[in-house]
Structure 1
Amino acid sequence: MSFDYDVIIIGSGPAGFSCAMQSTKFDKKVLIVEADDNHLGGTWLNKGTVPSKALREAADLIQDFHTQFGDEKGRKPFERFRMEDLLSYKKSALDSKNRKVKTDLIKNEVETARGWGEIVDEHTVTVKDSLNKTTTYTTENILIATGSRPEEPKNFNIDHSSVLDYNSILNITHIPRRLVIVGSGVISFEYATIFASLGTRITILNDSDEFLPFLDHEIRDDVFKVLKKKGIIIHTLSKVKEVKPNPLRTCMEVVFRSELEDRLQVLESDHILYVGGKIPNTDNLFDSTLNIDLNDEGYINTDHHYRTAVKNIYAAGDVTGDPTSASASFVQGRLAACSMFDIPSESPTGDIPYGIYSIPEISGIGLTEEQAHDMGIDVTVGRAYYKNLTYADINHRTDGMLKLVFKTDDLKLLGVHIFGDHATDLIHLGQSIMAQDGTIKYFIEHVLNYPTYSEAYRVAAFNGVNRVYKAGVKYKNILNNKS
């Protein structure tokens, strides 16, 4: 049977984009359907990953300036810099990336159709454009890469002016003096540190009893020390009861109750940022007769080849649930293309690193110290504090640490956990060693550039070896161990 395309991809985010790029390398004819009339790239490029990281970079530069040269006449960053400057920085990054994505699609002869895509059957997709004109396309394979969207709060409304979500905050017109963040996840933490670096007074209302509970306990302790230094206040087990304007004091009020204090409290703020969960974009996407299987939260279930319950229909990226990150989506989209065209490929092996783009950054991979102990593994840890790194001294960025978790008997590296500048880059050196079943001796036996943040691996490795030595193992035997 002849089709118009070899694959139609609904959504141009990281999963859809990478699937398109990989499919063209197999000499396949590709169509991307994108609902946004103006931009490609979805949330990744226009509302999430790229713009938020650009805003973070601008805030980090401003903080760096203040750290290096001090305040001018005691003024806070928000008194010296305009939000317009940060938005201009963000816009330049977005414009550049949008041009590159468009160029890549044109260069690889990927066709695009603007409008709302709907899957009619396993080989047919209709696209309704902004003028309500519907066009029908046929295809051998379909990839659903429609991503997700922010969840709406239950007790108040987002007006995108005083009450913001993590999309509309990227277009705020001024640096707020006060900001209340309602949410307990990574995104709320990232925005808290970004605006705190600009001098904003931050309060986080966390509805759970812990904040970033997946972190290694020592990393989390270090994080909370920095939060305290930045003046960020966290109320745990807090429920928002009401959000309302106070015209007399020209501010917004957040009424909340914390289970720990069991009383109503009121916070005054210039803005409220709501960072809740995510909802998969599957509404009106396909006919129910297709029997595409969804889980209880509405995400699409797939097998390890990213194939849905329908043979020729695949799904990748945020629409399939965790891990919901651009980095994972890029890989999933490529692997889905390999699967649909029967091209041999290997899925990523080993642990997947996480990255939190806060100021400073946090990243980790593998077992934490607590997890290793719970599994009955005899481990030792090695630590390197940023305050002891020459490069951190030079940059006046001395907050943070790098922690290695390794087996005591053979020094095999089991986990790396980093809090500090460039953590999301540094993690990949540890990831590479773990992927080769390597030991921490690598960091001792190889030359690492000096001064660099990577030196932390060497410092932590020596610290760990010294701890093994103090436990009664001869130092010479440690370094000569070939296992």
Structure 2
Amino acid sequence: MAEHHYDVVVIGAGPSGEGAAMNATKHGKRTAIIDDKAMVGGNCTHWATIPSKALRHSVKQIITFNTNQMFREIGDPRWFSFPRVLQNAEKVIGKQVKLRTQFYARNRVDVFSGQASFIDANRLAIKGGRSDEVIHARNIVIATGSRPYSPPDVNFRHHRIYNSDTILKLSHTPRTLTIYGAGVIGCEYASIFAGLGVKVDLVNPGSRLLSFLDDEISDALSYHLRNNGVLVRHNEKYESVEGDDHGVILNMESGKKIRSDAFLWCNGRAGNTEKLGLENIGLEPNGRGQLATDEHYRTEVPSVYAVGDVIGFPGLASASYDQGRSASSDVTGDEHFRFVEDVPTGIYTIPEISSVGKNERELTEAKVPYEVGQAFFKDLARAQITGEAVGMLKILFHRETRELLGIHCFGDQAAEIVHIGQAIMNQEGSANTLNYFVNTTFNYPTMAEAYRVAALNGLNRIF
């Protein structure tokens, strides 16, 4: 049995694992990464973020073709099958894997394929690769990610019952689809399937969509999902899910029944920790398989760190990458450590949503005297040119100091637009005010110009 010695070993080659490994090797640490898949990239690349966003992009192009009057000269609106649209997403996955494989090779990070499990706090056994191996490490970073939570009373082996991973292997286009769970993933898939002309029922156990968002943005999402044919059902909890040869019946606690061609479960995720042998080092995950860490991403075992989805909130690829970098900054003692917070939301519904900072409800409850500046995309020349007129930018600022408190955006390119506001919010002192947007010349016509429009709108509310 081969044995290897490293300064830092990372378990999991998704965004958090990559961030940890790259930062460690750049600081001269002998580094290895272990993944249970044959190809790097983690669930983010193969099952979650990348394929679903590539899928969304293709669907958005189909919607544009089918609704833009200019294309009628080419031909009638077209129907596209789900498997056909998925093919484009698979090309993107291949490019991402190639790129990330090159990162590890170029930076001299050894990549092991197989299932890692702890022997003790500084040794890992790897099984299922080319041969069984033992790895010694001064520090180990757990970055194993998450998977869809699967309740035992739902039969996910049934050919019409899917979760957010297996839906990417759907080999036909259902006429009707029930989605249970209206979190970020449920709302994104509701948008995608509605865009393909599927009749979607979105069942929400809660009372409103994405309640962590600003209320106005949440309301706008509700309206546009419904406007695109999604039936949203709030305050409904499932009792049972029954699949047969012709479809799936969702039985609700309220007595309602919904029948559809296919069923998609999107209610929660669980950390990938059950095969790590954590009992051998005295670590115990919570009921969702997640690990507790301190403000430096250290577990209760001094030599072991945990980052990314496996530690729970916020469970975003963007935050995971930075958490991985920060954990290895703690190991190497460099000056770049930070606890990752104030992460922007990026929600890839159609239209998309992004925000950073406080929302109106939070500011009202804290009795902060804020004011609102708004820019509606329908009034922007660039949005009129592109035909993407749905949406708005909302700036929340302190009415006395004009300090920026929150940026909320709904509409095309929202996840890009939000970063301009984020950059100004992160400036020190008087540089972080609404005045920046009033006293800065923006290119015209652009979507970024929404900041100038919203800032002037906000100033008009101050008396």
Q: TM-score range by the shorter chain?
A: over 0.9
Aligned residue among 290, 307, 310 for 2:301: 310
* 1:39–1:46 Cα contact (<8 Å) kept: no
> Is the aligned partner of 1:418 residue 2:409?
yes
Deviations along 1:385-417, one digit per CA (max 9) or x if unpaired, are 111111111122111111111011121110011
Aligned residue among 217, 222, 238 for 2:220: 222
**Counterparts of 2:189 and 2:295, CA distance in 1:** 33
Aligned residue among 439, 448, 453 for 1:459: 453
Provide the residue aligned with 1:324 in structure 2: 315
Provide the residue aligned with 1:12 in structure 2: 13
> Is the aligned partner of 1:21 residue 2:17?
no
Quick one: structure 1 residues 239 and 86, their matched pair in 2 at CA, closer, same or farther if it must change by over 3 Å?
same
Q: TM-score, normalised by structure 1?
A: 0.90
Q: How far is the alpha carbon of 1:333 from its aligned partner?
A: 0.7
**Counterparts of 1:31 and 1:160, CA distance in 2:** 39
Provide the residue aligned with 1:384 in structure 2: 375
**Counterparts of 1:156 and 1:314, CA distance in 2:** 34
Q: How far is the alpha carbon of 1:291 from its aligned partner?
A: 2.5
**Counterparts of 2:243 and 2:289, CA distance in 1:** 35
Q: Note the 1:124-203 alignment, pairs <5 A.
A: 124-129=123-128, 133-159=131-157, 161-203=159-201
Q: How far is the alpha carbon of 1:241 from its aligned partner?
A: 2.9
Provide the residue aligned with 2:252 in structure 1: 256
Quick one: structure 1 residues 170 and 411, their matched pair in 2 at CA, closer, same or farther if it must change by over 3 Å?
same
Paired residue secondary structure (2:224) = helix
Query: Aligned-residue CA RMSD in angstroms?
Result: 2.1
**Counterparts of 1:355 and 1:76, CA distance in 2:** 34
One-letter code aligned to 2:9: I
Paired residue secondary structure (1:301) = coil
* 1:23–1:30 Cα contact (<8 Å) kept: yes
Deviations along 1:273-294, one digit per CA (max 9) or x if unpaired, are 0012111111131342422354
> Is the aligned partner of 1:396 residue 2:377?
no
Quick one: structure 1 residues 145 and 76, their matched pair in 2 at CA, closer, same or farther if it must change by over 3 Å?
farther
Q: TM-score, normalised by structure 2?
A: 0.94
Q: Note the 1:49-64 alignment, pairs <5 A.
A: 49-64=49-64
**Counterparts of 2:142 and 2:450, CA distance in 1:** 42
* 1:389–1:456 Cα contact (<8 Å) kept: yes
Provide the residue aligned with 2:356 in structure 1: 365
> Is the aligned partner of 1:273 residue 2:293?
no
Paired residue secondary structure (2:460) = helix
**Counterparts of 1:287 and 1:184, CA distance in 2:** 32
Provide the residue aligned with 1:99 in structure 2: 98
* 1:178–1:270 Cα contact (<8 Å) kept: yes
Paired residue secondary structure (2:188) = helix
Provide the residue aligned with 2:32 in structure 1: 31
* 1:153–1:276 Cα contact (<8 Å) kept: no
Paired residue secondary structure (1:467) = coil
**Counterparts of 1:71 and 1:254, CA distance in 2:** 39
* 1:76–1:198 Cα contact (<8 Å) kept: no
**Counterparts of 1:448 and 1:95, CA distance in 2:** 37
**Counterparts of 2:79 and 2:216, CA distance in 1:** 36
Paired residue secondary structure (1:4) = strand
**Counterparts of 2:402 and 2:54, CA distance in 1:** 39
Aligned length: 457
One-letter code aligned to 1:10: I
**Counterparts of 1:392 and 1:45, CA distance in 2:** 31
Q: Indicate the percent of aligned positions where both proteins have the same amino acid.
A: 36
Quick one: structure 1 residues 306 and 119, their matched pair in 2 at CA, closer, same or farther if it must change by over 3 Å?
same
Paired residue secondary structure (2:68) = helix
Paired residue secondary structure (1:21) = helix
**Counterparts of 1:158 and 1:459, CA distance in 2:** 49
Q: Note the 1:65-144 alignment, pairs <5 A.
A: 65-69=65-69, 80-129=79-128, 133-144=131-142
Deviations along 1:131-163, one digit per CA (max 9) or x if unpaired, are 7x4211111111111111111135421136311
Provide the residue aligned with 2:41 in structure 1: 41
Q: Note the 1:235-250 alignment, pairs <5 A.
A: 235-245=233-243, 250=246
Q: How far is the alpha carbon of 1:60 from its aligned partner?
A: 1.1
**Counterparts of 2:227 and 2:256, CA distance in 1:** 24
**Counterparts of 2:278 and 2:83, CA distance in 1:** 45
**Counterparts of 1:246 and 1:290, CA distance in 2:** 45
